[in-house]
Structure 1
Amino acid sequence: MYLRNAIKLLALAAPGLVASISSAPLSTSGRWIVDSDGNNVTYAGANWPGAAEAMLPEGLQYQSIEYIVGKLKELGMNVIRLTYAIEMIDDIYETGADVSIKTSLITALGETNGTAIFEDIIKNNPTFSENTTRLEVYDAVATECYNQGIYVHLDNHVSKAEWCCSTTDGNAWFGDTYFNVTNWHRGWRYMAEHVKSLPGVKSIGMRNELRSPDDDTALADATYNWDTWYTNMVENANQVHAVNPDLLLFFSGLNYDTTLSPIPTASDLGNGTTFKKTDFAFSDKIVLEIHNYDNSATSCSSLESSLVSDGFDALETDDSDIVNVLPVVMTEFGYLMDNTTHTEVYPTCLKEYLPSVHAGWMIWVLAGSYYIRQGTQDYDETWGLLDHTWENWRSVDAIDNGIIPMVEASLG
C-alpha cells in the first residue's frame, strides 16, 4: 500500500525519539508530536481508568501509585491515558470543595466495602489520609508519572461517572441526559488551570467515544452530525487553549471515535463548515485520536486500509488531497490478555502497523480489576495487562511477545 510504504520511509528518516520527558510543553509539526528541542515524540502506553463511580484511578487498594507506574516503566512505556469524569468537577463547584476519597468510595461501594477499600488504599499509599481528596490522588499519579519519566494524557471519559460506553447511557453526545455542554466546558477550564502545576501532563483528550444518543432520538436526529461536532469540539479547544496554551488537544471522532474521515481532507462537515488547522490559534497543538476494536479482522491489508480511510491518512505528507497533516494516536485498542490472543490477526497487525507509521498508541487496559464496574464490585478485567491484584502481568507471554516488542518498535 502506497501510504504505508511512504510513511515507513518517512519514519526511517526521522530524528531519534526522546527517551525521557522534560517540564517543557509538547507541540506538533506536521505529522509529528515534537518536544521543545524539536525531537519527535511518539506515545506508547496504556489506559489507566478513573472515571467510574469511585472517581479514582483504579487499583490503589492493591498496590501503590509508585509500584503501578513502575510497572509501566518495566514495559518501556512513556505515557498513560488517565481518565476522569466531569462529575468530579461538578461536585467541586456544587459544594465548594473536592470530595474525600473515603466519602467517594463509600458512596460508590457502600459503607462497609467503601471503608475497607479506603483502608487498603491508605495502607498502600501512606501519604493519603481521610482528608485526601479525589483530585489530590490524580495529582499524586501525575507527579509520580513525571518522576518516573511517563507522560500523562488526561482524558475526559464521561460526564456522569460510570462504566463507558453505550448509545443509551446518557453520556453519548452533546446535550444528552448527563452530557451538559456548559458543565463540560467548565470542567475542562478547571482542569486546564489545575494541571499547570503538573509538568507531566502534556495532552488532553477532550471527550471519549462520541456516539449517537439513542436514548433521545430527537436529539440524535437533529444534532448527531459533524457540524455539531465541529461547533462543540472547537469551542472546547478554544476555551482550554485560552486557559492553558501548553496542552496538546486531542480531537476524537464519531461512532465511538472510530472515524475522523472528513478531517484530514477538510471535507464539508455540513452547512459549508470545514475543519482547517490553519484557522485556529492552537494549530500547533492539534492531534487526532482514533479507537479501534476490530477484533474480527481477517487480514492486515483490510485493517490498515480501514484505518487509513478513518483518519490515519492525516499522516500522509505527500498526498495533495490531505489538507490537515496531523499526528494521529490510537488512544484505545485492546484484546484478551492470555497466552494466545496476542498471536491473532488483529493484535499482530496493530503491533506491526502502528510502530511502522510512528502513530502513538495506548492499549486498553492497564487495570487488572475495578473498584466497581457495571454494578459488580472488585470486577476482574480479563483484558488487563496486570493481574487482578495489579502485582504481576496477567499473561507473561502476551507481555514478552506482544507488548514489549511493540513498545520497542515504537520508541526505538
Structure 2
Amino acid sequence: MHLFSLLVCLVSSTSLITAFPNAPFKASGRWVVDSTGSNFTYVGVNWPGAADVMIPEGLQYQSIASIVSKIKNLKMNVIRLTFAIEMLDDVIDKGGDVTVQKAFQKALGSKGDAVFSQVVKNNPGFNTSTTRLQANLKWYLLKYFKVFDAVAAECAKQGIYVHLDNHMSKGAWCCSSGDGNSWFGDQYFNTNNWKRGWQYMSKYAAKWPNLISVGLRNEFRKPTNTGSSLAYNWQTWYNQVIPVVDIVNAANPNVLIFLSGLDFDTTLSPIPGAGDLGGGKKFQKSSFKYADKLVLELHNYQNSATSCDSMKSGLWNGGFKALDASSVNQMPVVLTEFGFNQLDKSYSGVYASCLRKIIPEWKAGWTVWVLSGSYYIRSGTQDFEESWGLLNHQWSDWRSADAINGLRQMVDASLK
C-alpha cells in the first residue's frame, strides 16, 4: 500500500477507535449531561491562545504534554482554549495560515526566532513548516502537526475535554472597553468575519473527539470609542448572537454553545426569566430547535468583596438563577472566568473562599483564570510575568502551593 494511503487509513482507524468517552454532551434542564445520561460538571482552567502570537501560551518553556499533565494532576476535566478571529482571517483571506515561526517573528520582532527555537526544542514535533491551525499539503506527517490540533490531541490522550472560546477579534491582550474588540462593529470586531470565522472553526475543530463546547465571544462590553454604530443593549446582543448560534449548530450540531452576557460577561439578567430584551423581543429557549445545546456563561472578578452573601446574591441575580426550576429558561450556567493574584493571601480572602463554597454548592461548572505563568507578549511587554497564573514563570511548577491546595478543595467539592 502507498505510504500516503496507509497513513490515511491509520489516522481514520485511530479516530474511530479513540472517540472520546461519552460525547457528545447536551443540556437537560440545569444540567450538562453526557451521552450516557450522567451529569457532567465543568472543572477546568483557561489556557490562553488569543494574544498577539495567537498560539497557546507557555510552549517556549514546556512541552504540551507536560503542561496538560499538570492540569490532569489537579483532576480537572476541561480546558477553555482561547483563540482570535484574526488567526482565521489569515487562513481565509491569505490562502492559508502563517507558520508558527512567522507568527513569532510578527509579534516579537527580532526576538521571535529565539522564542520559536525554544518552542521547537520543547515540542520537537514542530518545525519551520508547522502552522497554528490550517493543515497544509503534508498534513498526514506527524512532524507537521498543527499547534491547536496538538493541544487538543494531547488533552484527549490525557482525558481532558476542550472548550473553544473566541476571546478577541484582533489577537491581543483582553480586555478593555477601548481595545476595539468590545462590541459588534467596533474597530476590530468585524461581525461578518466573526460569523465566517466561527463557520470555519466549527467545522475544523469537529475532528477533535474531545471538543464538547464553544464560547461564541468573550466579555461583550460597552465601547468607549466610536468604532461601533450599533446600540449597546440586549436587543443588539440577540440580533447579532443568534445568527452565529445558528451557524455553529449547523456546522457542528454536536457541540454545546455557550452564551455570554453584557458588562464584561457579568450579567445575563434578562435571560433566566425571559425578560424583555427591547422591542418586545425575548429569549425563549423553547423556541430553538437546538435548545438542548445552549449553555450560559458568566465571569466574576469581585476580588475586593467583603461579603459572601452579597456576592452570592449578585451572581444568582446576574444569571445563575437559570439553574433554578422556577426560571422560564432553565439552563446550565458555567463560571468560565474567575481568578486572583497567586502571590499574596488572596486565596484565603472573602472572594476566593466564597466562590470555593457557593459554586460547588450550586453544582455549577467553572474554569479558573488562568493557567499561564507568563505570556509570549502582553500589552507590549515580552515574556510578561503573570502573577495570577497557577503555574510559575517557567510553567514548571505551581506558583503557590497554598493557593493550589485551595483550588484542589474546589475541584474535589465540584466533582462529588
Please report the TM-score for the alignment, with normalisation by the length of structure 2.
Answer: 0.91
Alignment check: 8 A CA contact 2:22 2:35 kept: no
One-letter amino acid of the structure 1 residue matched with residue 132 of structure 2: R
What residue is the counterpart of 1:350 in the other structure? 355
Tell me, in whole angstroms, the C-alpha distance in 1 between the residues paired with 2:50 and 2:119: 17
* 1:55 Cα deviation after fit: 0.5
Tell me, in whole angstroms, the C-alpha distance in 2 between the residues paired with 1:284 and 1:186: 24
Count of aligned pairs between the two proteins: 386
Are 1:129 and 2:127 matched, yes or no?
A: yes
Tell me, in whole angstroms, the C-alpha distance in 2 between the residues paired with 1:232 and 1:28: 23
Are 1:120 and 2:118 matched, yes or no?
A: yes
What residue is the counterpart of 2:261 in the other structure? 253
Are 1:212 and 2:222 matched, yes or no?
A: yes
Candidates 319, 325, 330, aligned match of 1:325: 330
SS in 2 for 1:134: coil
Tell me, in whole angstroms, the C-alpha distance in 2 between the residues paired with 1:307 and 1:262: 13
Candidates 354, 379, 382, aligned match of 1:377: 382
* 1:153 Cα deviation after fit: 0.5
Are 1:77 and 2:76 matched, yes or no?
A: yes
Alignment check: 8 A CA contact 1:23 1:200 kept: no
One-letter amino acid of the structure 2 residue matched with residue 121 of structure 1: V
SS in 1 for 2:213: strand
Indicate the larger mover: 364-373 or 272-281.
272-281
SS in 1 for 2:196: helix
Alignment check: 8 A CA contact 2:22 2:36 kept: no
SS in 1 for 2:79: strand
In structure 2, the CA distance between the partners of 1:36 and 1:101, relative to structure 1 (3 Å rule), is: same
In structure 2, the CA distance between the partners of 1:386 and 1:218, relative to structure 1 (3 Å rule), is: closer
Aligned pairs (5 A) from 1:10-409: 22=21, 24-111=23-110, 113-135=111-133, 136-216=146-226, 219=229, 222-317=230-325, 319=326, 322-338=327-343, 340-400=345-405, 402-409=406-413
Alignment check: 8 A CA contact 1:43 1:79 kept: yes
Alignment check: 8 A CA contact 2:212 2:254 kept: yes
Tell me, in whole angstroms, the C-alpha distance in 2 between the residues paired with 1:360 and 1:100: 35
Tell me, in whole angstroms, the C-alpha distance in 2 between the residues paired with 1:96 and 1:218: 29
One-letter amino acid of the structure 1 residue matched with residue 412 of structure 2: E
Alignment check: 8 A CA contact 1:339 1:398 kept: no
SS in 1 for 2:399: coil
1:383-402 per-position Cα deviation (integer Å, ceiling 9, x unaligned)? 000000000000011111x1
Alignment check: 8 A CA contact 2:186 2:228 kept: no
Alignment check: 8 A CA contact 1:51 1:161 kept: yes
One-letter amino acid of the structure 1 residue matched with residue 122 of structure 2: N
* 1:214 Cα deviation after fit: 1.3
* 1:196 Cα deviation after fit: 1.3
Tell me, in whole angstroms, the C-alpha distance in 1 between the residues paired with 2:284 and 2:20: 30
- Once superposed, what is the RMSD of the aligned Cα atoms? 1.2
- Structure 1 portions without partners, runs of 5+: 1-19
* 1:341 Cα deviation after fit: 1.3
One-letter amino acid of the structure 1 residue matched with residue 408 of structure 2: I
SS in 1 for 2:377: strand
Tell me, in whole angstroms, the C-alpha distance in 1 between the residues paired with 2:51 and 2:62: 19
Tell me, in whole angstroms, the C-alpha distance in 1 between the residues paired with 2:226 and 2:388: 31
Alignment check: 8 A CA contact 2:99 2:131 kept: yes
Alignment check: 8 A CA contact 2:164 2:213 kept: yes
In structure 2, the CA distance between the partners of 1:218 and 1:30, relative to structure 1 (3 Å rule), is: closer
Runs of 4+ in 1 over 3 A off after TM superposition: none
